[in-house]
Structure formats: structure tokens, C-alpha cells
Amino acid sequence: MNAGAEPFRNLESTMKPQTKRPKPQRFGRQAKTAVTMIAAATLLGGWNLVAHLDRAQAGAAPDDGTTEAPAAESNPSSPTAGATLLPLPTLAPLNLAPIPTLRPAPALAGAPVATTSGAVMTLADLPGLSPLPTLGALPSMPSLPPPPAPSSNGGGGGGSTTSGGS
Amino acid sequence: MTTTVRTSRNDDLFFIGLGAAAGVAVVFAGLAFWQVAAAPALTGLLSGAAAPGTTMLSQEAQAMGLPLVEGTKAFWYVARAGGILAYMLLWLATLWGVFISSKMVKGWVDGTLLYDMHEFLPILAVVFAVLHAAVLLGDAYIGFSVLDLLVPFRAPYRPLWTGFGSLALYLSVALIASFYMRSRIGRRVWRLFHYTTYVAFILALAHGIQAGTDSSQPMVMGMYVATGASLLFATFYRILTVKGSRKPAATPIATRRRPAAADAEAVL
């Protein structure tokens, strides 16, 4: 090394590594952008997932009987949010005595069955009802003009003037 | 070297914004591809008929609370998803730090890369945590005000647990700021302060479990249990293995040669 390069000798020794180690990897711009990109995509995916979970929870609410706690969680400002639900008291089982079954009466076993009974009512039994009024005749309708004869040009023959264009 | 690192740090927010925009673009491009090509082809294969792609997309948008009309739940959904994502990023950053300190990943990945990631992930977590809080302002159902979000324990909804979330966010911001002030406050003070990361994580975990709407979901609760348990395991591993085999301080030459890697080792 010549004398002119001597003043830079110390500078070189401090700026350059003495050993031939590989260049340290850095978490560079591309890596930062990529990681943030993944995080943003995860946020959108999470948004979608949370929305579907919320809808599923709301949809399942009427089906089962345990709707109070999830509904309170999804609506945190509701008055029941965070409240502990008190257990409902259970009713004691009812003990009903067996009802005795009726036995057929022996005197009526061979009696003939009447085709008509006194419970059947006829119009003659209801003298208080007034007869229904009779309706008058309907007014006669005016006669309509006869429909036009079908044209021989084809084109579907629709009556509308707007539908048969081309 | 110092200038390069400083510039890189200052660019973090720019690249976070760029990455977020790219992520949204990728999702929309994926949805458009699904709508135009994939869904019709799949449905056509399965049923022999054309798929109503636009119907699917509009149904998804409707389910997500879009468009943003009065009474929409979109803000509430984004706040929930953003909160969980911010928590997971904070967990990843904390776990990453413990991995570095316990030398569990030593030799797998370059030390500088490890350290850079450990420095970047909390910033990303804070960005999503701020989004999580800011989006709540748009939700008219609860009616959070700016003061409710800024002042801990003032929120109308579960004030204690919501306040824990605010404190976790402030502590995370302070921890990130301490990275940049390390030379001023001294390494020893910085290192002691760095242990409050555990406090921030526990506050965020408590906030997520107690104030999170989705913590009643088994999947979400499982995630909280798994993340908490993994960090606990890594911490115990670090305490048990590294304490007895602490090396002497790095030589000045090594420190000068690879400052970031030396910092990474010094963190712990």
C-alpha cells in the first residue's frame, strides 16, 4: 500500500467487515409490505367471518331455547349485556289420579238405534226466522263491438302496437 | 449504517400503508376472480348451470354490513376483527422477542432479521389496535366518543376491561418509542422497561377475553388459551434454560460489526 492511501487505512478497517461473513438478512421493504398485506387480507377475512358468525348466531336464536346469553353478547349495549341469568324455578310434577272409565249400561245394550232423534231441528221448528229476501234481476250489459278480424300479415298477430316491432 | 437503519424505521408506516392497500387489493382481486371465473366454473361443473357470481358478491357485502348506511354493523364487525388481529400481532411480537432472548431460533434465522421483525411486528399491532379503536367511533349502537377511547375506564361498555385495552395500547406505543430512545435512556433502563411487554400482553389478553364479543365462541376462546399458553411456555423455557448459560458481554468488535444482531442479544 502506498503512502497516499495510508490516511484511509483506518477508515477502511472500520467500514468493512474483517471477516467474510454473509451479508446479514434484513426485514426489508418487500417483507414489511408483504406482512402488512397478509394482515390486511386477514382483517377482511376476519370481518367476513365475524359477520357470518353473527348472522349464524342470530339465525340460530329462535331455534333453541338458549338465546338470551348470545343475544346479549352480540348487542353489548343492551341492558342484559353481561348480566347473569337467574335459573328459572322448576315446577313440581303433577300427580293426577287416574280417571275411571265408564262402563256401558246393560239396559241400553240391546235397544234399537233411532234414525232420527229429537235433537235434529227442521225449519218448522224455527218459526222466528224471517224468509230470505229475493234478489232483483241484474241490469243488462251494453253490447260490445265485435273484435277485428285477424290480419293476414303474420308477425304474431298480437293486439298490442308495441310488441310486434321488427 | 445508522442513517440507513433510521430511514428504514421511518419508512415503516409508509410500508404498512402500502401493504394494507395491497392486501385489500389482493382480496378484491381474488373476489373478482372468484366472481368472474372460479365460481361459475365450479358451479357449472357441479350443477351444470351458470353461477350467479354477482349475487354471491352482493350477498357477502350485505352480510358484512355494506354499504355503510345508517344502522350498519360493518363498523362493529371491523372493530371485532381488527381487535383480534391486533392481539395476535402483539402476541406474535412478544413471542418473537422471547424466542430471540431464549435463543430458541438461533441458527435458524439471521439475528438481524429476527431483530427487525421483532421491531416491526409491534408497530403493525399498534396500527391495527388504533384501527380497532377508531372504527368504534363509527358504530352508533354503543356510541363511543373520542374521550371514551382515549381515557381509560371511561367507556360506556365494560369500562374496566375496555380500559385495560386502552392501557395495553398506550404501553405498546411507549415500548415502541423506547426502541428509538434507547441511546438516551440507557440500555439498562430500556431493558427493564422492555419487561413491561408482558404487562401489555396480559392487559390485551384480559381485554380480549372480558370485553370481546367473540370470546364466547369456542374457536376464539381456544385462540386466547393457545396464545397465552404458548407465551407462558416460552417464558418458562427462557427462564429455565438461559439463566444458567448466560454468556459474557459481546466484544466491542462484534458489537460494532453487527449492531442490530448485538441489540437482539442484548434485549434479553
In 10 A of CB A35, how many CB atoms? 21
List Cβ neighbours of A46 (8 Å cut-off, separation of 6 or more). Answer: B80, B81, B82, B84, B85
- Residue A137 to residues A122, A134, A140: CA-CA distances in angstroms? 30, 10, 9
Can you tell me the distance from the alpha carbon of B37 to that of B49, in angstroms, rounded to the nearest whole number?
Answer: 14
pLDDT of A6 strictly over 60: no
> Which of B3, B64, B105 would best serve as a mutation to test chain A binding (most A beta carbons within 10 A)?
B64
How far A57 CA lies from chain B's nearest CA (Å)? 10
In the predicted structure, residue A56 carries a pLDDT above the cut 50: yes
CB A35 within 8 A of CB B124: yes
- What does the pLDDT read at residue B21? 77
List, as ranges, residues 82-101 from B with C-beta within 8 Å of A: 82, 84-85, 89
Enumerate the residues of chain B whose CB falls inside 8 A of the CB of residue A55: 63
Q: Which of B141, B217, B253 sits opposite A77 (nearest CB)?
A: B141
Closest CA to B102 of B252, B256, B230, B253: B230
Residue of B nearest to A22 (CA): B110
Quick one: average pLDDT of B188-213?
93
pLDDT score, position B258: 45
Q: How confident is the model at residue A162 (pLDDT cuts 50, 70, 90)?
A: very low
Q: ipTM of this predicted complex?
A: 0.73
Residue B67, preceding bond cis, omega within 30 degrees? yes
Distance in Å, alpha carbon of A6 to nearest chain B alpha carbon: 22
**Does the distance separating the beta carbons of A24 and B113 come in below 8 Å?**
yes
Q: Has residue B236 got a pLDDT over 70? A: yes
Weakest mean pLDDT among A62-71, A102-111, B32-41, B107-116:
A62-71
Higher per-residue pLDDT: A104 or B75: B75
What pLDDT sits at residue B44?
A: 59
